Amino acid sequence: MKEIFGDLFEQKDADVICITTNGFVKRDGSCVVGRGCAKEADRRWNCSKTLGELIRHWENIPVIFYRTNDYTVVSFPVKHNWWEKADLDLIRKSANLLVGLADFYDWKKVVLPRPGCGNGRLDWKDVKPVLEPILDDRFYVITNKKGCE
């Protein structure tokens, strides 16, 4: 796993960017995307309904839910419900499943934000040790805040 600085949505050389998500599906069938990179993804691609349908079908696991001309977009669940604190066990499960997707699709560069460290209310110092044994050098964890620990 490598750590980088920049804008998640400007990773033109990535095969995949990951959007941190929760597993809550509203009555209208859309996933709650109220903050962070999920909100930005929905603003750009109007994808909350698609993501909600995929969660209902596959449950709360990483899934491909959008493709741009530059990269594939994959969900990375960090919470079960939008109002909860992020769950380290769910982050571990999501990381393991993401590695399986990367192996299957032969992805060379996968970029994800620090999972659970924004609206998820976790500290990077607690999340990083969970990810390090799972994510190899194909995976880039990005932050847009210089000097952020």
Question: With a threshold of 0.85, does the pTM exceed it?
Answer: yes
CATH of the domain at 136: 3.40.220.10
Strand partners, 141: 3, 112
Judge whether 110 lies within some domain.
yes
Judge whether 47 lies within some domain.
yes
User: Is 56 in contact with 27 (CB distance < 8 Å)?
Assistant: no
Cα 85–chain centre separation: 15
Q: What is the pLDDT along the chain (149 residues), one digit of tens a residue?
A: 999 999 999 999 999 999 999 999 999 999 999 899 999 999 999 999 999 999 999 999 999 999 999 999 999 999 999 999 999 999 999 999 999 999 999 999 999 999 999 999 999 999 999 999 999 999 999 998 654 44
Which of 33, 31, 34, 42 shows the shortest CA–CA distance to 9?
42
Q: Which domain holds residue 14?
A: 2-143
Judge whether 148 lies within some domain.
no
Q: Order of strands, edge to edge, in the sheet holding 2-5?
A: 2-5, 139-143, 110-113, 16-22, 72-79, 64-67
Judge whether 27 lies within some domain.
yes
Judge whether 113 lies within some domain.
yes
* C-alpha separations of 146 from 3, 21, 107, 142 in Å: 11, 23, 27, 10
Determine the straight-line distance between the first and last CA of the chain, rounded to whole angstroms. Answer: 16
User: Is 97 in contact with 127 (CB distance < 8 Å)?
Assistant: no
Judge whether 7 lies within some domain.
yes
CB atoms within 10 A of CB 89: 8
Judge whether 67 lies within some domain.
yes
Please give the tally of structural domains in the chain. Answer: 1
Judge whether 149 lies within some domain.
no
- What's the count of helices (H) and strands (E) in the chain, helices before strands? 4, 6
